[in-house]
């Protein structure tokens, strides 16, 4: 196992009715910028609970943080927060609202141009942030990362700072009952792929991290389809929500090699072709596993055996079967696995490669050997 430092300061309040704890988590007297997306929080009763819990606080509400949060929208929120002298941010929503709110928190305290925070400058300070999660998927509710879309540049720009861990996150599985089935599938696939990217590399003498990861993968496989067939099953929603948090709160990645190539290639597909984040992953990951089967052979065999119970036949047959099972699972979650299902053919690939080059994403994977030629082979397999 490699050396690591682990510190996750986000306090989690998990379960039905926990939104009522908001009032005790936000410091008394705070002026709160409350951020959210479109209308879902008004339709599913989340806003009513938040409003009741925030009685007595000065609130400035900013609506309209879109899926794949846009830089220009977030700048408007920064302006509003300055105007209203906000000193705390409460994000209500999924990964997009929380990521966007992290950017707002950092931009409010940044002396230079806000764009610098997305192009290499580390945040030196940030407003405190809390969140009410309504879509388990990204892990943003208890991690220090975010991704902001710059539409004019056709870019998804990641940023990260320990200052951006939410102070607290409220996870009430009931809030997810209203999710469209498309978002249920997306959430399960995103959490699944986050887990795979910290697990399916090469053996690193980390059996505990392996078993954490395998536990998450098996739980997602067992519970995911139940959320599609029985959307109001609290137990299922609770397990999925907690899996998604655990998949990207830093714990399973401690001390092990990681391969974020599917995410990095996927971000370019979203920026160029507006494919939902998780849907890019469902396209790229199976193709990447097939392309990287030699480098990942030992872990692919472990994955086949422990996650899919594939023990019969030659090594190559077990690996093929594990990759096919992965793709079939994504399909079972209603998530397409081919570029062609998104209306793209081989003509789209050069543009993706040009973006990867522009962003210097030319040495990806746990061995830093997924160059542009390898990315091209992965995308060709994904057609």
CB of 124 to ligand NZQ, least distance (A): 20
Say if strands 168-171 and 11-14 run parallel, antiparallel, or are unpaired: parallel
Residues 6+ away with beta carbon under 8 Å from 46 = 19, 40, 92, 132, 134, 175
Strands 155-160 and 145-150: antiparallel
Cα–Cα distance measured from residue 346 to residue 383, given in angstroms and rounded to the nearest whole number: 7
Which region among 23-31, 105-113, 136-144, 307-315 touches ligand NZQ (by CB under 6 A)?
A: 136-144
The item of ligand NZQ, Zn ion, none sharing an interface with residue 93, based on CB under 5 to 8 Å by kind, is: ligand NZQ
The string of DSSP codes covering 93-144 is ESHHHHHHHHHHHHHTT-SS-GGGGGTTPPPS----EEEEESS-SS-GGGSS
Residue 18 interacting partner from Zn ion, ligand NZQ, none (CB closer than 5 to 8 Å by kind): none
Binds 250, which of Zn ion, ligand NZQ, none (CB < 5 to 8 A, cut-off by type)? none
Q: Which of 263, 279, 296, 299 binds ligand NZQ (CB under 6 A)?
A: 263
Least distance to ligand NZQ, CB of residue 305, Å = 27
Reduce the DSSP state of residue 294 to 3 states and report it.
coil
Residues 277-336 that bind ligand NZQ (CB under 6 A): 277
# binding residues, Zn ion (CB under 5 A): 1
What secondary structure, in 3-state letters, does 178-234 show?
HCCHHHHHHHHHHHHHHHHHCCCCCCCCCHHHHHHHHHHHHHHHHHHHHHHHCCCCH
- Site residues for Zn ion, 338-377, by CB under 5 A, read none
- Contact string 68-97 vs ligand NZQ (x = CB under 6 A): x------------------------xxxxx
Q: Which of ligand NZQ, Zn ion, none has residue 37 at its interface (CB below 5 to 8 Å by kind)? A: ligand NZQ
* CA–CA dist 379, 291 (Å, integer): 10
Task: Name the one range near ligand NZQ by CB under 6 A: 182-190, 225-233, 349-357, 363-371.
Answer: 182-190
Binding positions for ligand NZQ, 98-117, rule CB under 6 A? 99
Regarding 40 and contact with ligand NZQ (CB under 6 A), the answer is yes
Residue sitting closest to Zn ion (CB)? 190
CB neighbours of residue 45 within 10 Å? 14
Residues 30-49 interacting with Zn ion (rule: CB under 5 A): none
d(CA 372, CA 139): 29
Partner from Zn ion, ligand NZQ, none binding residue 144, C-beta < 5-8 Å depending on class: none
Instruction: Give how far the C-alpha of residue 305 lies from the chain's centroid of Cα atoms, to the nearest Å.
Output: 27
Whole-angstrom distance, CA of residue 76 vs CA of residue 78: 5
Residue 171 binds to ligand NZQ (criterion: CB under 6 A): no
Q: What does residue 378 show for φ and ψ, rounded to 5 degrees?
A: -65, -45
Q: Which of 114, 130, 146, 166 binds ligand NZQ (CB under 6 A)?
A: 146
Q: Which is nearer to Zn ion, 129 or 284 (CB)?
A: 284
- CA 266 – CA 270 distance, rounded (Å): 6
CB of 183 closer than 8 Å to CB of 158:
no
Q: How far is the CB of 29 from ligand NZQ (least distance, A)?
A: 29
Nearest to 146 by CA among 108, 94, 198: 94
Q: Measured from the CB of residue 34, what is the shortest distance to ligand NZQ in angstroms? A: 13
Of positions 190, 210, 276, 327, contacts Zn ion by CB under 5 A: 190
Which tokens in the block code for residue 35?
A: 């951020």
Rule CB under 5 A: is residue 141 a binding residue for Zn ion? no
**Separation between Cα atoms, residue 199 and residue 61, nearest integer Å:** 40
Applying CB under 5 A, which residues contact Zn ion?
A: 190
Applying CB under 6 A, which residues contact ligand NZQ?
A: 37-40, 44, 67-68, 93-97, 99, 134-135, 137-140, 143, 145-147, 175-176, 178-179, 183, 186, 190, 248, 263, 277
């Amino acid at each position: 196992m490699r050396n690591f430092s682990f510190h996750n300061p986000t306090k989690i309040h998990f379960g039905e009715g926990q939104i009522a704890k908001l009032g005790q988590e936000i410091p008394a007297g705070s002026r709160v910028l409350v951020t959210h997306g479109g209308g879902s929080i008004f339709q599913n009763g989340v806003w009513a609970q938040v409003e009741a819990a925030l009685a007595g606080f000065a609130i400035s509400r900013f609506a309209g943080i879109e899926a794949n949060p846009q830089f220009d929208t977030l700048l408007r929120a920064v302006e509003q927060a300055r105007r209203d002298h906000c000193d705390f941010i409460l994000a209500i929503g999924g990964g997009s609202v929380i990521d966007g709110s992290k950017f707002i928190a950092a931009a409010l305290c940044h002396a230079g141009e806000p764009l610098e925070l997305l192009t290499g400058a580390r945040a030196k300070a940030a407003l405190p942030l809390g969140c009410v999660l309504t879509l388990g998927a990204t892990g943003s509710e208890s991690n220090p990362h975010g991704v902001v879309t710059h539409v004019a540049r056709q870019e998804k720009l990641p940023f990260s700072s320990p200052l951006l861990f939410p102070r607290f996150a409220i996870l009430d599985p009931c809030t997810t009952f209203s999710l469209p089935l498309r978002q249920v599938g997306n959430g399960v696939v995103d959490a699944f792929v986050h887990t795979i990217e910290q697990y399916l590399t090469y053996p690193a003498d980390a059996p505990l991290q392996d078993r954490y990861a395998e536990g998450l993968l098996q739980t997602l496989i067992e519970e995911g389809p139940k959320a599609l067939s029985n959307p109001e099953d609290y137990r299922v929603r609770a397990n999925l929500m907690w899996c998604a948090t655990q998949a990207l709160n830093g714990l399973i990645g401690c001390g092990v090699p990681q391969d974020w190539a599917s995410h990095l290639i996927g971000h370019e597909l979203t920026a160029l072709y507006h494919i939902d984040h998780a849907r890019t992953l469902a396209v790229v990951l199976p193709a990447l596993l097939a392309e990287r089967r030699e480098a990942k052979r030992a872990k692919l065999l472990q994955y086949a055996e422990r996650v899919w119970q594939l023990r019969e036949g030659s090594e190559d047959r077990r690996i093929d079967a594990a990759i096919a099972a992965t793709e079939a699972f994504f399909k079972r979650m209603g998530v397409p696995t081919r570029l062609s299902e998104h209306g793209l053919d081989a003509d789209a690939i050069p543009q993706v490669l040009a973006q990867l080059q522009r962003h210097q994403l030319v040495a990806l994977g746990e061995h830093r050997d997924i160059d542009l030629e390898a990315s091209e082979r992965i995308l060709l397999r994904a057609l």
